[in-house]
Amino acid sequence: MALHFVTALDELKDSTCQLYSVAGRSIGLIQTDGAVYAVRNVCPHKRAPICRGTFGGTMLPSDPDSFVFGMQEQILRCPWHGWEFDLTTGKTLCGDEHKKLTLYPVTIKENEVYVDL
């Protein structure tokens, strides 16, 4: 376990991906609903800078002629091809179970954010 200090918790903007260099890796931190996620800034589809994409929700499976929006503040969307990824699991919503975000464990101690690489 190699914990690396990244930033103070109060420096994170809610629902925004902020980029940091951690041990030579580009890592995005996203704080939402009281949780902090650490994402390697590489889309597993075509290696785009995933953290420059949009963050929010997505359309969910629903009945014909019905539109259901959900997973608010849980989806990171790639800026190149629009692939969507669930921040809680890293899995894509695009149907390819082999394409998954690299997520790192986050530890918060006394208002300091650490990432375990």
Q: How many Å apart are CA 74 and CA 47, to the nearest integer?
A: 20
Q: How far is CA 73 from the centre of its chain?
A: 10
Please give the pLDDT value at position 33.
83
What pLDDT digit, counting tens, does each position of 28-57 carry? Answer: 999 988 899 999 999 998 999 999 998 888
Q: What number of other Cβ atoms are within 10 A of residue 96's Cβ?
A: 12
Answer whether residue 63 shows pLDDT above 90. Answer: no
Structure tokens belonging to residue 51 = 């953290």
What domains can be seen in the chain, in order of their start residue? 3-116 (2.102.10.10)
